Structure 1
């Protein structure tokens, strides 16, 4: 049976190297599959970082806009939170065509 194996692979160092590579590729704690999984997690986390950085920039711009003047702060409070002065009434108009159906 040893005669069927090419002489190159019968060398002790080559056989040891091949066994070591198979061990590192599949059975080690830092195997190839673990590296692929970690790279996938890293790319997902990087996308989240980019998303949240964009959200932070948007919120900072809105905050700067709102805190810039009293008139803009009042406009923002009226539109976003439906706030009103004590002598006013607020009417909310809902488009019935685009209203989602209730179950």
Structure 2
């Protein structure tokens, strides 16, 4: 009985349809230009790009809010004072820079 089981498995391995199927599956999984490994790397890249897309959409919405605020006169003045160190004619501007080295 044991010999018949061995011959049964051996005959399956010698079957040309089985061999072609194994070859096909191996080829598709590893060697084809659209292999499973390639799909995996492409899916990772897609996920990364979708994360970037959501980040930039949030940044766009922040910038749109900032533009709306800058259209108001007070916000424009504040922005000009902070970013470009602009001042009125009768004012003095002092720029204070903090040292990043810790003091003991």
User: How many Å separate the matches in 1 of 2:8 and 2:101?
Assistant: 73
Structure 1 runs not aligned, ≥5 long:
none
The count of residues paired between Structure 1 and Structure 2 equals 96
Structure 2 CA distance for partners of 1:6 and 1:100, relative to 1, 3 Å: farther
User: How many Å separate the matches in 1 of 2:101 and 2:58?
Assistant: 29
Tell me the secondary structure at the aligned position of residue 89 of structure 1: coil
74-83 or 45-54: bigger deviation: 74-83
Structure with greater Cα Rg: 2
Shift of 1:51: 1.1
Normalised by the length of structure 1, the TM-score is 0.79
Normalised by the length of structure 2, the TM-score is 0.78
Q: Which runs of 4+ in 1 moved over 4 A?
A: none
- Out of 40, 46, 55, which is 1:42 matched to? 46
Shift of 1:59: 0.8
